[in-house]
Structure 1
Amino acid sequence: MLDVFRSLKTLLKTSRVQIDNNIFRLHYSITVILLLAFCVIITTKQYVGDPIDCVRSEAIPQSVINTYCWIHTTYTVPRSLKKEVGVEVVAPGVDMETNTKEFRYHKYYQWVCFVLFFQSTLFYIPRWLWKMWEGGKIQALMMDLDVGVCSEQEKKQKKKLLVDYLYNSRGHHNWYAARYLFCEVLALANVCGQMYMLDKFFDGEFLTYGLQVIEFAQLDQEERIDPMIRIFPRVTKCRFYKYGPSANIETIDALCLLPLNIINEKIYIFIWFWFLLLTALTVIVIVFRLVIIACPPVRVYLLNMRFRLSQLDHLHTIVRRTSIGDWFLVYMLGQNIDSVIYQEVIQDLAMKTDSQPSESMMMSTQSKSMMST
């Protein structure tokens, strides 16, 4: 068990090269670890015991009825949840009801571990896509300038190569930035889609699950019905059919304990709040991205605040003369290059960009010369 969790720790290791932001990392790092850890926990008998344990007739072996009820699902009676335990019913929702239309069948527990693993895979897809599309561009452009300890000649040469690349490739990084924005939107769509998927998985109960738990905690003890017991019942019933001595079909009611649901209810209340937090943070990030795209001055002040660059005129020059994709690449480089070297790169890039006429001025000059000829 400990070896499994140690292997999950590798997902927490931060790479030397940063190609995304902290909120994006919450999706493919923390969330993936949590889901895989939950998957391991509920499949380990030493923590939750047997997943099902049924009280049965002496004529039927314990293992047979346990396996039968696990495969063919168990059920509760929702309208009996309010009845008094020990007086009217033996457990919430467990009643002597014969009308099968009143039954609520529970079969999700067979699939919880698989669903958790599938969820973790979906959360990693945006990261996988971005890593494939990014193609190691940031790492190649860094040229070990994140260390900052190198000879002056080597630093000068690498810095010149980086500035020349950024200048000569102006306007060619919009698709690079668009792909990253797409991956962030995909991460948001994934967490929203998973909440909808879990709502279908739990028969329309998941979207309001957290709100119901909060409301339950605020009600009087006599009035409240625990939503965790309603969605994840700990005691259920199961009907076992077998042939009797005269070849007639006999029905045996079994009372089943589901200790696994004690873990499931805690896992999914945590997932509900975690997904809500992820959704809110990702929406804020995407809205901020749109503001950055629409407002060039925001790009200037973001570079200034993030990397403590004091010369605003240089930043204004870079933002004015380059595209949003170029700005995004410059910003990502700032997260990976030594701060002193980065300031020199920004200064050299701004001076080189400012010394050359902009494309619009060149086009205007060319058109005037053509008209004069």
Structure 2
Amino acid sequence: MDQLFSSLKSFIKPQTCITDNPIFRLHYKFSVCILVAFSIMVTARQYFGDPIDCISRDDIPNNLLDTFCWIHTTFSIDEAWFKKVGSEVPYPGVDKTTDGKKKIYHAYYQWVCFVLFFQALFFYLPRYFWKTFEGGKVRNLILGLNNPIISEGDKKRNLELLVDYLMRNLKHHNFSFYMYCLAEVLNLLNVIFQMIMMNRFLGGEFLKYGINVLAFSEWDWSLRYDPMIKIFPRLTKCTFHRYGSSGDVQKHDAMCILPINIINEKIYIFLWFWFVFLFFLTLGNLVYRALTIVSSKMRLSKVQTNCRLASRDALESILNKGDIGDWFLLNLLSKNLDPINFRDLVNAYFRRLEGGKAADAAI
């Protein structure tokens, strides 16, 4: 298992070429790693540990009962959640099984490891969409200028090649920018979709799960029970039927301990806070993206924040002559190029746009 977890470290290593922003990377790097790590953890416990232990006073072998109850699910008695533990019921959700009592069946724990893995895949889809569309363009445009140690001859030649590309493709990068915006919107929609699906997966309890856990400490001690055990019960019931010696069907009532839910409850409370945090962070990023679309000053400030060595006047002149797609590409270059090399690129690009006129006053 250590080797499986250690392999995830390479997934979150720093990128050699940046084509997005830190919030985007929280989706396809950290969220994917978190979900895959949780899936591995649950899988190891579920298939290599002892995820369920059932007890019965009858002569049914324990191994047989454990296997049956794991495969055919367990259940809780709905009204037993509101009875007093120790006098009316032995444990929250556990009571005598009689006709007419509403049963809440628990089958999700068989699927948690698979659901977590598929959630990780969905978090990577917007990244795959953007990476496929971008096609390695920025990596090819870097031309070794991300290295601060480069010969003057190579630096001059590569800067000229890069400026030639920018001049030939001026005002032709808008579509790329809007595809990137679409990928950011997909990130937000994915978080919303996954929260809704997890809510359905957990019987409509996930959306209020974190709020209930936070409010748990303020409950009356005489009435309180941990809200986590209602969604992830640690003790449940199971009914096993078989033929008796007379040929009649006999019902055997068993209680089952689910150690796997100790892990599941911690996983999903973490995911609740992580998804809420990610939702508001992604929503704020989209608001910021909208502001960069309508405000040229914000676009200028963004590029200059990435490289303060570049002339503000030269940058402003460049951005005024191009469209928002040209700003987007220049912003990506500012993240990848060495600051001094990017400053020289801005100066060379500015002089080319000005037609070779005296740009020294702006430099």
Aligned residues of 2:79 and 2:101 also touching (Cα < 8 A):
no
Instruction: Look up the match of 1:72.
Output: 72
- State the Cα distance separating 1:306 from its structure 2 match: 2.6
Aligned residues of 1:75 and 1:238 also touching (Cα < 8 A):
yes
Most deviating of 10-19 and 50-59: 50-59
- State the Cα distance separating 1:222 from its structure 2 match: 1.9
Whether 1:110 aligns to 2:110 is yes
Distance in 2 between residues matched to 1:13 and 1:248, nearest whole Å = 63
Aligned residues of 2:145 and 2:338 also touching (Cα < 8 A):
yes
Whether 1:218 aligns to 2:218 is yes
Distance in 1 between residues matched to 2:353 and 2:283, nearest whole Å = 35
Q: Secondary structure at the match of 2:205?
A: coil
Instruction: Look up the match of 1:261.
Output: 261
Instruction: Look up the match of 1:4.
Output: 4
Q: Secondary structure at the match of 1:104?
A: strand
Aligned residues of 2:80 and 2:94 also touching (Cα < 8 A):
yes
TM-score (norm 2): 0.94
Task: Note the alpha carbon deviations across 1:216-267, whole angstroms, 9 max, x for none.
Answer: 1222322323210111100000111111112111111010000100110000
One-letter amino acid matched to 1:11: F
Long gaps (5+) in structure 2: 357-363
Whether 1:237 aligns to 2:237 is yes
5 Å-filtered alignment, 1:123-142, equals 123-142=123-142
Aligned residues of 1:317 and 1:354 also touching (Cα < 8 A):
no
Aligned residues of 1:54 and 1:254 also touching (Cα < 8 A):
yes
- State the Cα distance separating 1:9 from its structure 2 match: 1.2
Identity across matched positions, percent: 46
Instruction: Look up the match of 2:143.
Output: 143
Distance in 2 between residues matched to 1:275 and 1:117, nearest whole Å = 16
Instruction: Look up the match of 2:82.
Output: 82
Whether 1:304 aligns to 2:318 is no
Distance in 2 between residues matched to 1:259 and 1:100, nearest whole Å = 29
Q: Secondary structure at the match of 1:81?
A: helix
- State the Cα distance separating 1:46 from its structure 2 match: 9.3
Aligned residues of 2:310 and 2:342 also touching (Cα < 8 A):
no
- State the Cα distance separating 1:101 from its structure 2 match: 4.7
Aligned residues of 1:236 and 1:256 also touching (Cα < 8 A):
yes
Task: Note the alpha carbon deviations across 1:255-307, whole angstroms, 9 max, x for none.
Answer: 00001001100000000000011111111111111110111121112222231
Q: Secondary structure at the match of 1:167?
A: helix
One-letter amino acid matched to 2:282: T
Whether 1:168 aligns to 2:168 is yes
Distance in 1 between residues matched to 2:305 and 2:9, nearest whole Å = 32
Task: Note the alpha carbon deviations across 1:190-232, whole angstroms, 9 max, x for none.
Answer: 1110000000001110001000101112223223232101111
1:258–1:100 distance in 2 versus 1, CA, 3 Å: farther
Whether 1:37 aligns to 2:37 is yes
1:247–1:49 distance in 2 versus 1, CA, 3 Å: same
Instruction: Look up the match of 2:200.
Output: 200
Instruction: Look up the match of 1:120.
Output: 120
Aligned residues of 2:46 and 2:260 also touching (Cα < 8 A):
no
Most deviating of 346-355 and 230-239: 346-355
Most deviating of 217-226 and 199-208: 217-226
Distance in 2 between residues matched to 1:203 and 1:299, nearest whole Å = 45
Number of residue-to-residue matches in the alignment = 357
Aligned residues of 1:48 and 1:260 also touching (Cα < 8 A):
no
1:90–1:43 distance in 2 versus 1, CA, 3 Å: same
Instruction: Look up the match of 1:334.
Output: 334
- State the Cα distance separating 1:314 from its structure 2 match: 1.2
Distance in 2 between residues matched to 1:294 and 1:49, nearest whole Å = 56
Instruction: Look up the match of 2:285.
Output: 285
5 Å-filtered alignment, 1:3-22, equals 3-22=3-22
- State the Cα distance separating 1:23 from its structure 2 match: 0.8
Instruction: Look up the match of 2:227.
Output: 227
Distance in 1 between residues matched to 2:346 and 2:97, nearest whole Å = 76
Distance in 1 between residues matched to 2:53 and 2:29, nearest whole Å = 36
Q: Secondary structure at the match of 1:355?
A: coil
Aligned residues of 2:73 and 2:107 also touching (Cα < 8 A):
yes
Distance in 1 between residues matched to 2:171 and 2:340, nearest whole Å = 26
Distance in 1 between residues matched to 2:290 and 2:354, nearest whole Å = 27
1:268–1:121 distance in 2 versus 1, CA, 3 Å: same
Distance in 1 between residues matched to 2:9 and 2:47, nearest whole Å = 21
Long gaps (5+) in structure 1: 357-373
What is the CA RMSD across the aligned residues, in angstroms? Answer: 1.8
Most deviating of 148-157 and 44-53: 44-53
Most deviating of 44-53 and 246-255: 44-53
Q: Secondary structure at the match of 1:43?
A: helix
